[in-house]
Chains A and B, each alone.
Chain A
Amino acid sequence: MKSIILTTASRTLLPLLILFSVFVLLRGHYLPGGGFIGGLIASIAFILHAFANGLKKSRFLLRIHPGFLIPTGLLLALGSAIVPIIFEGLPMMTGVWYPETLPVIGKVGSALFFDTGVYFVVIGVCLTIIFTISEQA
């Protein structure tokens, strides 16, 4: 399924889509979006790239095995859940925030890190599943 148009387009689309997915992730706390949707968009970006350019190239582009993203994300989410216990002495998963409001992102807090963890897990899961299956097929 090699098509020059798709191949060329996908090269440009990949960074754009990734950027978009990060955007969706970050704005999730205020507008529609979030870790799940961002993660799915990012996965679709990679899968599109894989279809256009072949699995090898996408894997090379990703550098690491997508499976590694799963524990990374889980640890990030777990970490953000534990942070309040360690630093503030609050119950698990209590939201803690950096007092200043940052531009673009808004308030930064443990919830954002949690959502980022979700984002990584979703990318990891989707890519692991699709890549593994398409290698076998």
Chain B
Amino acid sequence: MSVRLENVRKKIWKFSPLYFMMLPGLAYLLINNYLPMYGITIAFKDINFAKGIWGSDWNGMQNFKFLFSSSDAYLITRNTILYNAAFIVIGMTVGVGTAILLNEIKNKLAVKFYQSALLLPYLISMVLVSYLVYSLLSVNVGFMNKTILPALGIDPISWYNEPKYWPFILVFVNLWKGIGFSCVVFLAAIIGINKEYYEAAMLDGASKWQQIRKITIPLITPIVIMMMMLSIGRIFYSDFGLFYQVPMNSGALFSTTNVIDTYVFRALMQLGDIGMSAAAGLYQSVVGFILVILSNYAVRKFSKDNALF
């Protein structure tokens, strides 16, 4: 017993510099993320500022009711999940693909150019993106209606009144904005791969395609899985700007653009009830958390090394 204790003590002593290094980061997490979690209680309260946050009355699940009571509940849940699923699948595929292509290119100057160009959309805010989209799609002055469609002999389209185009537009805009980011992340992973693997593979006569399939992809799988899990955890959230500002809050498009975040925003715009918005946030977090635990469990079954925890 005492020997074991001695061992543990030794081990802790050995690792103490590492724990010490973690201190600032952990303190930060505590302050920025864990202390504010008491705010979760707000979701179960009828907030009255005269009584203060602590003194306000509890009201059970009352604040959550508006999320489920309306006929839109199904629509917004479906939209949120389907869009996010599409974003994850398409974003990951294109991101990995682009990173692999970039890695192939020998000309340093070209790499630099492509990378900068791809990252450009990532640099701007969604409000600006919404103006860009507007300059393309505006009924009266948009580039599509004024230049492209006439050239193709197609009648002008009233983009902001036609819900059927928006799934494509939103997926495209999201991809356009995010590709630079995911590409950079994956490229960093690819460059980190030991070159000896490729050299060995080439000696064995493996084609480029085989190298990509057998070396690159398996070796960047951990980072792909991590990115994926993070996205899954946020599957009930959506980029507010993308779904609100880019479609210009156009009512006619709601069937394909209303998601949980925009629904909550519109619902509470008039009421300004922080209890209800906290309830919506908590609901999104909990669902995301459960999904991540489940998918982590699945990954763990499949390959233990790739699991996150």
Q: Do A and B bind each other?
A: no
